[in-house]
């Protein structure tokens, strides 16, 4: 058994087809999860339903009681995350101007983000070709931003802006993950990195694919950030 279609339709509207945990927009890539699993007596009503992206759905259930590591999500915590997000979506309503009560705290959140993502870092994402080496320090702003982006004190109150913030963070994380897998220290300078030059000689097709992928992911992350800033400036009148 699963949730009735009426429940699924209701919760997807209430969450705006965004994940209730990380807040990114999912479109069709969203699942409705039982907060209390059916095997443990969970029901198929809306109060026990939580829309999640694929990644967060896996994360919520990635806990083994026989070998516990980390902190398990509790039903009360999950419901709180969900209801807080429902509230943001209901209040924001997708309108062009944020609620007046949101303006000042969301302006502060915007400034926090802009202080971390410098114009220099944005230019790096936009303009650097990853067929060339680069200094380790060039990646520091992105790494530092991703280390704290889940802090609830850095969330936008406005649901539209929070969705865009999550989209940017996930796009940046995807870029960073592919980068970590494919770059190594330059032999002559340990504080510089590049895709190995011998790949270009021994695996030219693979080398070109990696470079194209990294350039594309970096550009996408920059675009997501710029979309967030443009929307925030319009909604927050800054």
- Give whole-number Cα distances, 140 to 36, 65, 121, 165, 189, in Å: 40, 36, 9, 19, 17
Highest mean pLDDT among 66-80, 123-137, 153-167: 123-137
Question: What is the count of structural domains for the chain?
Answer: 2
**Are 104 and 208 within one domain?**
yes
**Tokens found for residue 16:** 């705006």
- Give whole-number Cα distances, 186 to 133, 192, 195, in Å: 8, 6, 9
Give 51-100 pLDDT, tens digit per residue.
999 988 988 887 555 445 667 888 999 999 999 899 888 876 544 444 56
CB atoms < 10 A from the CB of 24, how many? Answer: 23
Percent of the chain residues topping a pLDDT of 70: 92
Q: Is the pLDDT of residue 218 over 50?
A: yes
Q: What is the model's pTM?
A: 0.79
Segments forming the whole domain that contains residue 83 = 5-92
Q: Is the pLDDT of residue 5 over 90?
A: yes
**Are 82 and 197 within one domain?**
no
**Are 12 and 85 within one domain?**
yes
Averaged pLDDT of the chain: 89
């Amino acid at each position: 058994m699963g949730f009735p279609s009426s429940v699924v339709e209701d919760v997807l509207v209430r969450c705006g087809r965004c994940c209730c945990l990380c807040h990114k927009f999912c479109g069709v890539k969203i699942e409705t999860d039982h907060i209390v699993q059916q095997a443990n007596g969970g029901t198929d009503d809306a109060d026990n339903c939580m829309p999640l992206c694929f990644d967060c759905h896996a994360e919520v259930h990635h806990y083994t009681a026989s070998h516990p590591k980390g902190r398990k999500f509790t039903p009360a915590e999950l419901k709180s995350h969900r209801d807080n997000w429902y509230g943001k979506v209901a209040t924001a309503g997708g309108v062009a101007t944020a609620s007046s009560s949101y303006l000042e705290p969301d302006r502060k959140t915007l400034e926090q983000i802009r202080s971390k993502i410098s114009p220099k870092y944005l230019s790096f994402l936009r303009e650097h070709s990853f067929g060339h080496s680069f200094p380790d320090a060039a990646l520091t702003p992105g790494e530092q931003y991703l280390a704290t982006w889940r802090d609830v004190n850095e969330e936008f109150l406005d649901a539209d802006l929070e969705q865009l913030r999550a989209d940017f963070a996930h796009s940046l994380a995807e870029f960073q993950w592919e980068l970590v897998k494919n770059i190594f220290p330059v032999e002559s300078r340990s504080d510089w990195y590049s895709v190995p030059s011998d790949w270009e000689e021994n695996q030219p097709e693979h080398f070109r694919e990696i470079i194209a992928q990294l350039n594309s992911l970096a550009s996408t992350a920059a675009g997501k950030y710029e979309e967030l800033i443009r929307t925030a400036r319009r909604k927050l009148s800054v």
